[in-house]
Amino acid sequence: MTNHHNIPKKALIIDDQQTISMIYSKVLKDLGIEKVFTAPSASIGLKGYLVELPDLVLLDVNMPIKDGLTLLKEIMSNDPDANVVMLTSVNDRQTVINCLRAGAKNYLLKMDEVSDVKQKLIDIMRKLDFSRNEFRSIKASA
């Protein structure tokens, strides 16, 4: 399955669709992640990020009030080493490019089959460095 040295301990899913959060939460737990937290909005997600300091974040691009790209920039300004993977239901090249430029490590299409999502997450996690998370600190919020 996965290299157990490269499985994050904590993950945060930020998505306004509860069904998506539940599906991805199960996928992450199936991959061996011990603690998976969910947040239904960008504001709750940012607070959760700053409190929990998850090793991996799955972040929805399209959310009401504050979109995922704006939240991604906020997370990266607090923690430039954050491992954020964007979730999108639209395969829009420019949106993906904007997210990657802002610091996202990768992206997942919401409409992909669960088995495809699981395999893509395994591939993404292999490329990420979670070990540094034990020693990182984030910038104090203004």
* 104 occurs within a structural domain: yes
DSSP structural state of residue 56: E
Phi, psi of 36 (to 5 degrees): -125, 120
- Looking up residue 105, the CATH number of its domain turns out to be 3.40.50.2300
Question: Domain range for residue 53?
Answer: 8-129
* 3 occurs within a structural domain: no
Sign of the Cα torsion 117, 121, 67, 39 reads positive
Which of 68, 65, 55 shows the shortest CA–CA distance to 6?
55
Binning pLDDT at 50, 70 and 90, where does residue 20 land? very high
What is the tally of structural domains in the chain? 1
Q: Are the CB atoms for 25 and 36 separated by under 8 Å?
A: yes
Q: What is the pTM of this model?
A: 0.88
- Among 4-13, 28-37, 109-118, the minimum mean pLDDT is found in 4-13
Q: Is 97 helix (H, G, I), strand (E, B) or coil?
A: helix
How high is the pLDDT of residue 7? Answer: 82
* 140 occurs within a structural domain: no
How high is the pLDDT of residue 131? Answer: 66
